[in-house]
Copies of this chain bind each other. A is one copy, B any other.
Amino acid sequence: MAGMTYGSLLDGDSRYMGYALREAERALECGEVPVGCVIVHDGQIVGKAHNQRETLQDPTAHAEILAITQAAAHFRSWRLEGAKLYVTLEPCPMCAGAIILARIAEVHFGAFDPKAGVCGSLMNLLEDPRFNHRPRVCPGLLAGECGDILTRFFRRIREGAGIPKPRASCDDI
């Protein structure tokens, strides 16, 4: 994807994942683990966020949680029926749980997370018939690009190059 403008040459689901990747890039610039998320309803982006755990010093500030809260504010409703969520990394239990509670219709994720992912890696919460809602799950969309940005982040840490200190706010990026 080097040199490619996300959203310009891609269609449909890949285009939305491209926007999620842009959000992940913003997280990287803020010194956050680079994960991005967008939520789409009827072709309109109604939620868009990146991981802000360090910036906000809030353990719940994952990209998906922030995007879901934004989308709910957009609709003035906690029910996000019909919405599609695009996230660059396989959701963790917290985010998978929020996706179920919000009744999101469809989840596209990029890279698998073998350490904490619960949408196919450690387990599959989103397809567990015991919960009262089951979104459609589409794994592996732009998985290479979504994994690459994480690899870059963790390589930088391993090489001791450090990471940018999180700012009080990343909103200006």
Contact = CB atoms under 8 A, between A and B. Distances in A.
A107 to B, nearest CB: 14
A38 B9 CA distance: 50
Interface residues of A, number: 40
Contact of A77 (B57, B100, B122): B57
A171 B89 CA distance: 36
Contacts of A92: 97, 101
Interface string A21-58: 00000000000000000000000000000000110111
Copies in the complex: 2
A137 interface: no
A101 B59 contact: yes
Contacts of A100: 93-94
A95 interface: yes
Interface string A81-125: 000000000001111111011110000000000011010001001
Nearest to A79: B59
Closest 9 CB pairs of A and B: A94-B97, A93-B97, A59-B102, A59-B78, A59-B101, A94-B98, A58-B72, A57-B78, A60-B98
Contacts of A131: 93, 116, 122
Nearest to A94: B97
Task: Tell which of A60, A100, A128 has the most Cβ of chain B within 10 Å.
Answer: A60
A68 interface: yes
